[in-house]
Amino acid sequence: MTLKTAQQYEDSLRKLKFQVYLQGEKVANPVDHPIIRPSMHSVKLTYELALDPEYEDLMTATSHLTGKKINRFCHLHQSTEDLVKKVKMQRMLGQRTAACFQRCVGMDAINAVDSVTFEMDEKLGTHYHERFNQFLLKMQEEDWTVDGAMTDPKGDRGLAPHQQADPDLFVRVVEKRQDGIVVCGAKCHQTGALNSHWILIMPTLSMGEKDADYAVSFVAPADAAGIVYIYGRQSCDTRKLEGSSIDVGNKQFGGHEALMVFDHVFIPWENVFMCGEYEFSGALVERFAGYHRQSYGGCKVGVGDVLIGATALAADYNGAHKASHVKDKLIEMVHLNETLYACGIACSAEGYKTASGNYIIDLMLANVCKQNVTRFPYEIARLAQDIAGGLMVTMPSEKDLHNLEIGKYVEKYFRGVNTVPTEHRMRILRLIENLTLGTAAVGYLTESMHGAGSPQAQRIVISRQANLEQKKSLARRIAGIPAK
């Protein structure tokens, strides 16, 4: 097997024995839980479309290890064309789901770990890259969804990991054995964790010598003994329990995040890719962050396409589509969205080959991409809410629409353009609410701000990559000032 069907993927999740808690209760069956299941549908689509000839070019690639056709989410980029196709694939999936489809973090993680383990082995004589390739072979053959996990709780941000009052606020090695290591700690905001087969752990910071125990990277089965998941709340998430096809805004697709706790989890040596090599932790963090900042130039743009379309429909249904200011606001939304896409494509096209043979994006342009992502989706959402109007958040429920006593009033008084059914207007307004305020807003807005690093993280990299001295020399030459 190299390409799972959508049903095979769902069936494979049912075999996993997750320890997951949601709203204080243990969940026996995450796959069918009404709050969790829409997020599984998003991942399931990545399997379905990989087998659809229409999307084959974007959704699949040729493995550099085996020469077989594999899902692009399991692929190491072998060219700038691969990097560009990744962004195009992400935009398409964002358009199809209007939600987070959750496999990007793992794809970005394997590409970062590949080049860093290669360079570790070259310098230190370790065997991490060989171990990683053995895992990658299995990942590609089984078409696994792998969750990349980087973000630690961090505790007191003013203190290094080894200085924390509680040493488990960063994932760490607590025991080294002949057959492997034992780890404790936690990872926060883990997107799609419960829809994954494996977890790929990476350090969250550039570590120093005193933090060597925290410079650890490994893979573990998502349901390994000692891993506990605490499901994160999202705005309006309990609407999924009500059975309404209107009030949730996006009934079929969604995303999820969870706190992932490691309570003395054993990891065999063959699954360990870094253990104490703190001098390489910074490179792993920077490369993963770069790949993931590139990703946002695709996925957020695809969701933005849906939001722009929903906003244009709302204007139609409100009878405001001919107003010049509405037209201008829609143009601005498109302009902002396409600017994000341009950044994603640019950092991909300017990518280059690493020592291990895979391709990495232009780090400066990837960070510019993500810096724009921390801003533009918020303006797109503001304009969407402006055009949609206040009814988006004061509208009655679907049950009111279908109530025998009062439904006629909802039908009458919430109609816009007379030729458009009231239900259609309600559906599109709920979709805008979902994307800008509800469950999808986690993946579109908050994740745009903090996913792949908060805004200051990009500014630090941009500063490092700016090469101001070279720019000064350009100015001196043009101005006729002698070089220093």
Q: Where are the beta strands (DSSP E) in 2-59?
A: 20-22, 25-26
CA dist., res. 9 & res. 14, Å (int): 9
Predicted model pTM = 0.96
Catalytic residue among 47, 292, 359, 444: 292
Banded model confidence at residue 440, pLDDT cuts 50, 70, 90: confident
The three-point CA angle 448-451-452 to 5° equals 120
CA dist., res. 172 & res. 167, Å (int): 8
Half-sphere exposure of 161 (CA within 13 A, CB side): 27
- Is 191 annotated among the ligand-binding residues? yes
How much is the average pLDDT of 291-313?
98
Catalytic residue among 46, 75, 100, 189: 100
Is 369 an annotated catalytic residue?
Answer: no
Helix (H, G, I), strand (E, B) or coil at 303: helix
How much is the average pLDDT of 299-312?
98
Q: Which amino acid is at 46?
A: T
Is 197 an annotated catalytic residue?
Answer: no
Helices 37-50 and 6-14 pack at an angle, to 10 degrees, of: 140
Model confidence at 51: pLDDT above 80:
yes
Model confidence at 393: pLDDT above 90:
yes
The predicted structure's pLDDT at residue 441? 85
Catalytic residue among 296, 317, 341, 444: 296
- The closest of 269, 170, 275, 258 to 222, measured between CA atoms, is 258
What is each CA distance from 10 to 44, 49, 144, 215, in whole angstroms? Answer: 7, 15, 12, 34
| CB burial readout 395-425, b (16+ within 10 A) else e | bbbbebbeeeeeeeebbeebbbeeebebbeb
Provide the 8-state DSSP code for 467.
-
Decide: 203 and 274 in contact? Cβ < 8 Å: yes
Residue 34 has φ and ψ, to the nearest 5°, of -60, -25
Catalytic residue among 104, 184, 275, 343: 104
Task: Please state the domain extents for the chain.
Answer: 283-468
Q: What percent of the chain has pLDDT over 90?
A: 98
- According to DSSP, the β-strands at 216-221 and 180-187 are unpaired
Model confidence at 71: pLDDT above 80:
yes
How much is the average pLDDT of 233-243?
94
Q: Cα–chain-centroid distance for residue 53? A: 25
Helix (H, G, I), strand (E, B) or coil at 268: strand
Decide: 258 and 193 in contact? Cβ < 8 Å: yes
CA dist., res. 148 & res. 253, Å (int): 21
Catalytic residue among 299, 343, 347, 369: 299
Model confidence at 484: pLDDT above 80:
no
Q: How many CB atoms are located within 10 Å of the residue 474 CB?
A: 9
The predicted structure's pLDDT at residue 1? 74
Is 296 an annotated catalytic residue?
Answer: yes
Mean pLDDT across the chain? 97
Is 191 an annotated catalytic residue?
Answer: yes
Residue 217 has φ and ψ, to the nearest 5°, of -135, 135
What is each CA distance from 350 to 75, 83, 288, 310, 337, in whole angstroms? Answer: 19, 9, 17, 33, 20
The predicted structure's pLDDT at residue 483? 87
CA dist., res. 340 & res. 155, Å (int): 33
Is 100 an annotated catalytic residue?
Answer: yes
Is 311 an annotated catalytic residue?
Answer: no
Catalytic residue among 117, 191, 436, 439: 191
Q: Considering just the CA atoms, what is the radius of gyration of the chain in Å? A: 24
Is 379 an annotated catalytic residue?
Answer: no
How much is the average pLDDT of 458-468?
94
> Is domain 283-468 in CATH 3.40.50.970, yes or no?
no
Helix (H, G, I), strand (E, B) or coil at 394: helix
What is each CA distance from 172 to 127, 169, 262, 302, in whole angstroms? Answer: 21, 9, 10, 37
CA dist., res. 311 & res. 329, Å (int): 10
Is 275 an annotated catalytic residue?
Answer: no
Catalytic residue among 119, 257, 286, 433: 257
Model confidence at 223: pLDDT above 90:
yes
For tokens 């000064």, name the residue.
Answer: 472
Looking at the chain, the number of H-run helices and the number of E-run strands are 18, 14
Q: Which amino acid is at 462?
A: I
| CB burial readout 456-470, b (16+ within 10 A) else e | ebbeebbeeeeeeee
